[in-house]
C-alpha cells in the first residue's frame, strides 16, 4: 500500500469484510470508505456512459471545419493516428489504477494513495482542483456546442439567420438548466439515457456515414485525403501547424474524463469502439468534402458540409439533430460526473463550504447542491463570450489540458513513490504498467504545451489562447486556499464514514 498514513480515519463498525459485499464495495471498505451512491449501472450502461461522454460523432464534426485551417485533411487524419496510441496508454493506465482503487473522485484520491506521506495531501489537493476545472470547462464547451447545433438547424431551415450572440448564450443557459434537471432524477434514469444513447449514436452514425457519401456529388481521391495540407494559421512551420491541428483529435478523445464512474472493462471496450468509430467518421467525411475553401470561410462549416453533400436542407437539419441529441447525452453524463467529483472533494474537505456540498439528496442519493452550484458557475463563466466569440475555444482547450494533467499526476506520483508497490486489482498491466505510465506522463506534458499555443499567428488579444491563463488562475486559487485552510484540514477527512 501507499505510504499515506490513515491514523486519523474513522471506519464504520459495519464496514468490515463480508460475503455480502461485491469486490468494489469491499475494496472501498478496505480503503476506509462506505458505498455512498446507488449501484444501478450495468456493464452495458457503463460502456454507454463512457461512449456517450466521448461523443465522437458530434464532437469531431462540430470542430472539423475550423481545424481544416491547421493542416487540412491530411492533418485531421494523421493527427488522429498520432494521438490514438497515447490515448490508449492513458486509458489502460487508468483502468489499472481504478481497478486497484475503485473510489469516487478518482484521480485526486489516486494521487493521495500513490504519493508519499509528506507530499500526498498537497499533490492530491492540487489535482482535485485541476480535475474539477476540466469537468466544468468541458461541460461549458459541450453545452455551448449544443446551442450552436440549434442555431445551425434554425439557420439551415430559415432565410432569417440567427446571428445574435445573446441568442446562443440564452439557448446555452436553457440547455444547462434542462440537463441539470435531468440529473436530479438519479443514476437509474442516467442508466436509461445511456442505453438509449448507445442505440441513438450507433444508428445515427451509420445513417450519416452511409447517406453522405452515397449522395455526395463527388468523392475526393485518396491522395487528396491523405496528403492535402492547408495552412491558414499564419505559422510558417509545417510541424507547428500540424500540432495546432491536433486539437481536434485531443478534444474528441478526452471524454474518458468520466472514466472514474465506470469499470476497467467499460473503459477498454469503449475506447476501442470510439477509436474505430472516429477513424471511420474521419475518412468518410474527408472523402465527401465538396469545397474545402467554402468550409474554411463558412460560419457554419458542419451545416455547409451536409448541405453540399446532400443538397437537402431538411436532411441537413435531421443530421444536425442527430448530433445535437448525442451531444446532450454527453453533457448529462459530464454534469453527473462533475457533481460526483464535487461531492468527493467536499467529502475530503477540499472545497470552500465542504460541509454544505458533501450532502446527497435523501430520495435519489444525488449531489443536488453540487449540480446547482455547477449550473450557477457555468452560466457566469460563459458571459465573457459576449466580448469574444473565440472565448469558448479557450474553454475547450482548458478542458482538454486540465483533464489530461489531472490524469497524468497520479501516474507521475506512482513513478516517483510507488513504482512497484501499488496493490493489484482484477485488471493489471503487469510489468508493462510502469512503461505505459511513463509514456502517458510524457505525452500529457507535451500535449498540454501544444494546446496552449494560439491557433493563429500573429497573436492579438482577440486570437490569444487564454487557456493557460484560466488554468493558472485556478492553480493560484487552489494554492491560496491550500495555505489558508487546506494544509491544516485536508487529509484528516479521508474517510466519509461517520460514527453511528
| Mean pLDDT, residues 324-335 | 89
- Given pLDDT bands bounded at 50, 70 and 90, which one contains residue 62? confident
Element (H, E) at 229: none
Q: What is the pLDDT of residues 433-482, one digit of tens each?
A: 999 999 999 999 998 888 888 878 888 777 777 788 888 888 888 888 88
What residue spans of 348-390 are helical by DSSP H? 354-357, 368-382
d(Cα 57, Cα 245) in Å, to the nearest integer? 18
| CA angle centred on 397, ends 247 and 481, rounded to 5° | 150
- Smallest CA-to-CA distance from 48 within 162, 163, 200 is with 200
d(Cα 17, Cα 37) in Å, to the nearest integer? 19
d(Cα 475, Cα 156) in Å, to the nearest integer? 42
Element (H, E) at 133: helix 120-157
Whether 377 and 395 have beta carbons less than 8 Å apart is answered as: no
Do you know the residue count of the chain?
500
d(Cα 341, Cα 121) in Å, to the nearest integer? 17
> Grid coordinates standing for 196?
438509449
d(Cα 39, Cα 190) in Å, to the nearest integer? 12
The four Cα atoms 147, 149, 155, 160 give a dihedral, to 10 degrees, of -10
d(Cα 187, Cα 189) in Å, to the nearest integer? 5
Where are the chain's structural domains?
35-489
Identify the burial level of 419 via C-beta atoms within 10 angstroms of its C-beta, where 0-12 means exposed, 13-18 middle and 19 or more buried: exposed
Q: What is the pLDDT of residues 282-307, one digit of tens each?
A: 999 999 999 988 888 888 888 999 99
Residue 308 has pLDDT above 90, yes or no: yes
- Given pLDDT bands bounded at 50, 70 and 90, which one contains residue 424? confident
3-state secondary structure of 256: helix
- In CATH terms, the fold of domain 35-489 is Amino acid/polyamine transporter I (1.20.1740)
- Smallest CA-to-CA distance from 108 within 423, 485, 490 is with 490
What are phi and psi for residue 492, nearest 5 degrees? -80, -15
- Smallest CA-to-CA distance from 325 within 188, 210, 182, 166 is with 182
Among 74-83, 248-257, 333-342, 395-404, the range scoring the smallest mean pLDDT is: 248-257
- Given pLDDT bands bounded at 50, 70 and 90, which one contains residue 267? confident
> Grid coordinates standing for 58?
458530434
d(Cα 88, Cα 429) in Å, to the nearest integer? 13
d(Cα 325, Cα 57) in Å, to the nearest integer? 11
pLDDT of residue 198: 80
d(Cα 28, Cα 260) in Å, to the nearest integer? 14
Per-range mean pLDDT, top range of 22-36, 90-104, 223-237, 262-276: 223-237
d(Cα 118, Cα 3) in Å, to the nearest integer? 9
Per-range mean pLDDT, top range of 159-163, 184-188, 241-245, 379-383: 379-383
This prediction's pTM: 0.83
Place of cell 510558417: 236
Peptide bond connecting 202 to the previous residue in cis, omega within 30 degrees of 0? no
- Given pLDDT bands bounded at 50, 70 and 90, which one contains residue 261? very low
| Mean pLDDT, residues 70-76 | 87
What are phi and psi for residue 70, nearest 5 degrees? -105, 75
Whether 337 and 135 have beta carbons less than 8 Å apart is answered as: yes
pLDDT of residue 10: 35
Helix axes 313-347, 187-215, angle to 10 degrees: 150
What are the distances in angstroms from CA 170 to CA 62, 145, 173?
A: 20, 13, 5
Average pLDDT, the chain: 81
| Mean pLDDT, residues 32-59 | 58
d(Cα 368, Cα 186) in Å, to the nearest integer? 10
> Grid coordinates standing for 349?
474537505
- Given pLDDT bands bounded at 50, 70 and 90, which one contains residue 24? very low
- Smallest CA-to-CA distance from 143 within 167, 176, 169 is with 176
Amino acid at each position: 500500500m501507499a505510504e499515506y498514513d490513515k491514523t486519523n480515519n474513522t471506519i464504520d463498525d459495519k464496514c468490515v469484510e463480508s460475503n455480502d459485499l461485491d469486490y468494489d464495495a469491499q475494496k472501498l471498505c478496505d480503503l476506509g470508505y462506505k458505498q455512498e451512491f446507488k449501484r444501478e449501472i450495468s456493464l452495458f450502461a457503463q460502456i454507454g456512459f463512457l461512449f456517450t461522454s466521448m461523443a465522437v460523432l458530434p464532437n469531431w464534426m462540430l470542430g472539423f471545419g475550423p481545424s481544416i485551417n491547421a493542416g487540412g485533411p491530411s492533418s485531421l487524419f494523421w493527427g488522429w493516428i498520432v494521438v490514438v496510441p497515447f490515448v490508449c496508454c492513458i486509458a489502460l493506465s487508468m483502468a489499472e489504477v481504478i481497478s486497484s482503487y475503485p473510489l469516487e473522485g478518482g484521480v485526486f484520491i489516486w494521487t493521495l494513495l500513490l504519493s508519499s506521506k509528506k507530499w500526498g495531501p498537497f499533490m492530491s489537493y492540487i489535482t482535485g482542483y485541476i480535475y474539477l476545472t476540466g469537468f466544468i470547462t468541458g461541460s461549458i464547451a459541450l453545452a455551448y456546442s449544443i446551442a450552436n447545433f440549434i442555431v445551425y438547424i434554425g439557420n439551415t431551415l430559415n432565410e432569417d439567420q440567427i446571428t445574435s450572440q445573446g441568442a446562443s448564450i440564452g439557448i446555452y443557459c436553457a440547455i444547462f438548466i434542462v440537463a441539470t434537471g435531468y440529473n436530479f432524477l438519479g443514476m437509474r434514469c442516467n442508466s436509461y439515457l445511456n442505453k438509449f444513447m448507445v442505440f441513438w449514436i450507433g444508428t445515427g452514425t451509420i445513417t450519416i456515414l452511409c447517406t453522405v457519401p452515397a449522395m455526395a456529388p463527388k468523392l475526393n481521391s485518396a491522395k487528396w485525403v491523405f496528403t492535402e495540407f492547408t495552412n491558414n494559421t499564419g505559422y510558417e512551420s509545417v510541424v507547428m501547424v500540424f500540432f495546432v491541428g491536433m486539437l481536434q483529435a485531443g478534444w474528441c478523445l478526452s471524454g474518458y474524463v468520466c472514466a472514474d464512474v465506470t469499470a476497467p472493462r467499460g473503459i477498454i471496450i469503449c475506447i476501442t469502439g470510439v477509436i474505430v468509430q472516429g477513424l471511420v467518421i474521419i475518412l468518410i467525411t474527408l472523402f465527401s468534402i465538396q469545397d474545402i475553401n467554402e468550409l474554411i470561410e463558412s460560419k457554419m462549416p458542419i451545416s455547409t458540409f451536409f448541405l453540399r453533400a446532400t443538397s437537402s436542407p431538411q436532411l441537413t437539419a435531421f443530421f444536425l439533430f442527430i448530433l445535437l441529441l448525442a451531444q446532450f447525452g454527453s453533457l448529462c453524463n459530464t454534469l453527473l460526473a462533475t457533481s460526483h467529483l464535487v461531492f468527493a472533494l467536499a467529502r475530503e474537505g477540499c472545497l470552500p463550504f465542504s460541509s454544505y456540498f458533501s450532502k446527497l439528496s435523501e430520495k435519489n442519493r444525488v449531489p443536488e447542491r453540487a449540480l446547482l452550484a455547477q449550473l450557477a458557475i457555468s452560466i457566469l463563466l460563459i458571459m465573457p463570450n459576449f466580448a469574444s466569440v473565440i472565448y469558448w475555444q479557450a474553454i475547450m482547450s482548458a478542458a482538454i489540458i486540465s483533464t489530461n494533467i489531472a490524469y497524468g499526476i497520479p501516474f507521475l506520483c506512482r513513478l516517483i513513490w510507488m513504482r512497484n508497490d501499488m496493490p493489484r486489482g482484477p485488471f493489471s498491466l503487469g510489468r508493462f504498467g510502469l512503461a505505459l505510465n511513463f509514456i502517458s506522463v510524457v505525452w500529457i506534458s507535451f500535449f498540454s504545451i501544444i494546446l496552449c499555443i494560439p491557433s493563429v499567428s500573429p497573436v492579438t488579444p482577440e486570437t490569444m489562447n487564454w487557456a493557460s491563463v484560466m488554468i493558472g488562475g485556478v492553480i493560484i486559487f487552489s494554492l491560496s486556499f491550500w495555505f489558508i485552510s487546506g494544509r491544516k484540514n485536508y487529509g484528516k477527512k479521508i474517510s466519509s464514514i461517520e460514527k453511528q
